[in-house]
Every structure is written in structure tokens, then in C-alpha cells.
Amino acid sequence: MKVLHAGNMANLGYVICRHLRKTGLDVELLIEKNPPKGSDPLRFDPTLNNQYPDWISFFDKSKSSWKLDVIRKMREKKYDLIHAYVEFPIFAYFSGKPFLAHTQGSDFREMAQSKTLRGFLLRRAYRKAKAVLFFQPDHLPLFSKLKLYNGIFIAPLWDTTFFRAYSNKANNKKFTIFHPANLEFRLKGNDKLIKGYAEFVKNYPESNLIIVDRGIDSHKIHEMVKNLSIEDKVEFIDGPLNASQLLKYYNQSDVIADQFVLGALGSIGWETFSCKKPLLAFANEKQYRDVYGESPPVVNAFSSKDICISLTKLTNNEFRKEIGNKGYEWLTKYHSPVLFTEKIMKIYNCFKQKQTSQRLKSINNMV
């Protein structure tokens, strides 16, 4: 059975294909030519030595025919199944091939809910898909809203061999917070972090907040920092960062700050856990219990006041170490490559053995 994975936002498609190929599964990956920095395997995986593997193929968005090119690729006879990420279920829908839709975040949370043509087509594609795979806990209640009954929860695999704890923080006595999240107030709540941090440094002036400078609200963040008179306690670095740069900053920091709006974790959370660092973020504990059985060990904060209080707690070395270790344990328990492979093989085997949709759904009765 040959499977084409289409799409690579945040390198999820690459990570999954790389691992599945190691287990012997016949999978290939289709991605954009000259991909965005945050979705480029070459920036993510230093072992590639600046050369794409031969199991990755490309479509060219600079060509007017790129959408048809994607559909033609999916229609190639050698592929038995399409595993489509984000908006690519739309293309898989028009390919006529059996396909899985794999949601990642705003595609299901916002795009599929919109009244746009793309939103309409994505909803149609989800209904046609053999299954809609999801891992964000806040997606669960959206299935009933969209009248979808083919959802399967599958926690993404995570390989801890690259993102790892390899040293103590840099020779710096300052309490260091690293904030690599995209600067977009609506989705990340970066403004809450700045306000909370400004209160925190009144009592802990020997602190430093490192912000990766990328996103539509970058200028607003700079203005906030200036207006709150904390310019000497904030450091901006150009982004996005590649994987090696992220690894360095994770290990040199005391605390990693993610998002304070959505209530769901993504790659920043998993990278933090993998490096055994404490994560300051907002996680919807009830929704996590509904899909995982327990909430992740984050230092939970939603408001700027919460952030200030949490940062104060995190000045304690033993508390940081405890939270960091618990995060690593949670990651290896629920995001194990072995667990992911077992579940995805069960799903693929349903197609290989031409089993019914009811059998496919029985793999997981979450939705």
C-alpha cells in the first residue's frame, strides 16, 4: 500500500513520513517548492545536509496550474491513499482517491467554520474523508458543530533525540524567559505576556525576556515594551528560527512562554517538554482530560495577572526542575512514536483490507 502525504505545515507531514518510512511503510510527501521557513524540512532537520530526500516531491505555487498539478499528483495510479493536511483535503476530495483529512489548528478551528468558498469546500472534503484525524483538544466540540462523525483522535509522534536537554543555561545570572510564539495577539495573547512580565520585573529586575520577532503584531509588541519602560529587560531576536537555534535558546532559558488564548499546545509545547523545560501557557484542562485522560503539566496561565503570579513561582529552581521533568514524562507517554505508529497502521490497514467505515471509527470512539 502506497500513501501520499500532502502538505507540511510546521513540518508535521515531514516528521510523520520520516518516521513511517523508518518503520517500513511506503509513504511519500508532497510539499510546496521553496516552502515557508517554518515548513521547510531543510531548516528543521540538520541531518538532511541541505538536500531533500528523494521521497519528497514538489508543486510550484508560482505557476497558475499549481492546484491542478497537486490533483494530478494525487491521481497517480501508484497511490492507494491520500493523507492530506490542513487545506489539502480539498484537493484530495477532487482527486477522487480515498483520503484521510489531518487537521492541525486554525484549519479546523477557523477556516472550516468560515463562510468562504474555501471553508465550504473544506467542510465538503471533511464529510467525504474516510476519517478526520485531530490532535488539538479544542477541536473535539467542533465536530458536532460541523455535523461530522468521522473524527479520530491521534496524538502526534514526537522524537526526543533532537530536541533534548543537553546542558545547563548559559553563564547568565538573569532569570530568562524565552517566547518563540508567533506575535499575533488574537491567537497567542502575546500582549498578556508583556503586561504580566512588566509587573513581574518590578520585583525581579534581574530578568530577561527573549522574544522571537515575527508576526503581524510585532510593531505592537515593540510599542508595548517601550510604553511600559521595560526595554532594558526585553531582547528581540529575528525570526523565524531554525531547529538548531530553537534548541539552543530552549536549553539556555529558565522558562518557555507559549500562547495564552487557545488552550491547546503545539510544537512549541512539545519542544519545551522534550528539553525538560517548564512551559508557561494556557491549556484547557477539561478538554485535555476528555481526549488524553489528563491535562499536560504546564504552568497554566490565561490572564496577565496569572502570568505574573506564575513567573514568580517559576523563580524557584526546584519547582522549575519538577515541572520540566513532568513535561518530559507526559510527552514520552502520550506522544510516543510507537503509539502513533500502532494507531496509524490500524487506520491504514482498514483501507488495505477494505474494511467498513464502522470498523475505521471503532479504532477510536472519540467522535
Domain identity same for 241 and 104 = no
266-279 average pLDDT score = 96
Identify whether 103 is part of a domain: yes
Domain shared by 321 and 237, yes or no: yes
- Whether 347 is covered by a domain: the verdict is yes
Phi, psi (degrees; rounded to nearest 5) at 152:
-130, 125
Grid coordinates standing for 298?
504546564
For the chain, give the percent of residues with pLDDT over 90. 90
User: By C-alpha distance, which of 121, 151, 159 is closest to 135?
Assistant: 151
For residues 1 and 81, what is the distance between their CA atoms, to the nearest angstrom?
A: 8
Kindly state the greatest CA–CA separation across the chain.
65
Position 169 in a domain: no
Give a yes or no: residue 113 inside a domain. Answer: yes
Q: Each residue of 56-86: pLDDT tens digit?
A: 999 999 999 999 999 999 999 999 999 999 9
State residue 325's pLDDT score.
98
- For residues 102 and 207, state if they share a domain: no
Does any domain span residue 167?
no
- Amino acid 20: pLDDT: 97
Backbone angles phi, psi at 174, to 5 degrees: -75, 145
Q: Quick one: average pLDDT of 273-299?
A: 96
Q: Supply the CATH number for residue 237's domain.
A: 3.40.50.2000
Q: Same domain, yes or no, for 182 and 315? A: yes
Are residue 113 and residue 133 in the same domain, yes or no?
yes
**Contact residues for 310 (Cβ-Cβ < 8 A; gap 6+):** 280, 299, 300, 301
SS (HEC) of the chain: CEEEEECCHHHHHHHHHHHHHHCCCEEEEEEECCCCHHHCHHHHCHHHCCCCCCCEEEECCCCCCHHHHHHHHHCCCCCCEEEEECCHHHHHHHHCCCEEEECCCHHHHCHHHCCCHHHHHHHHHHHHCCEEEECCHHHHHHHHHCCCCCEEECCCCCCCCCCCCCCCCCCCCCEEEEECCCCCHHHHCHHHHHHHHHHHHHHCCCEEEEEEECCCCHHHHHHHHHHCCCHHHEEEEECCCCHHHHHHHHHHCCEEECCCCCCCCCHHHHHHHHCCCCEEECCCHHHHHHHHCCCCCCEECCCHHHHHHHHHHCCCHHHHHHHHHHHHHHHHHHCCHHHHHHHHHHHHHHHHCCCCHHHHHHCCCCC
Question: Within a domain: residue 163?
Answer: no
Query: Does one domain contain both 145 and 43?
Result: yes
| Whether residue 341 sits in one domain with residue 329 | no
Give the residue-averaged pLDDT of 140-165: 92
Q: What is the pLDDT of residue 230?
A: 98
The reported pLDDT for the residue numbered 367 is 47
Residue of higher predicted confidence among 352 and 287: 287
How confident is the model at residue 363, as a pLDDT? 66
Looking at the fold, whether 116 and 43 belong to one and the same domain comes out as yes
Confidence of residue 107 (pLDDT cuts 50, 70, 90): very high
97-111, 127-141, 163-177: the lowest-pLDDT one: 163-177
Instruction: Kindly report, residue by residue over 208-241, the tens digit of the pLDDT.
Output: 999 999 999 999 999 999 999 999 999 999 999 9
pLDDT at 362 (0 to 100): 61
Residues 9 and 44 in one domain: yes
Provide the pLDDT for residue 353.
73
Task: Answer yes or no: do 133 and 239 share one domain.
Answer: no
Q: How far is CA 313 from CA 129, 222, 306, in A?
A: 46, 26, 11
Look at residue 166 and tell me if it is in a domain.
no
- For the chain, percent of residues with pLDDT exceeding 70: 95
Q: How many domains does the chain have?
A: 2
Strand partners, 27: 3
Q: Work out the pLDDT band at 364, boundaries 50, 70, 90.
A: low
Residue 355's domain comprises 2-157+336-362
pLDDT-derived band of residue 359, with 50, 70 and 90 as boundaries? low
**What are the phi and psi torsion angles at 75 (to 5°)?**
-80, -5
Does 314 lie in the same domain as 253? yes
Quick one: cell of 90? 480539498
Place 159 in a pLDDT band, splitting at 50, 70 and 90: confident
CA atoms 19, 10, 335, 74: torsion sign: negative
Q: Check residue 352 and give its pLDDT.
A: 73
**What pLDDT does 219 receive?**
98
> Does residue 71 sit in the same domain as residue 210?
no
Q: Is residue 57 part of a domain?
A: yes
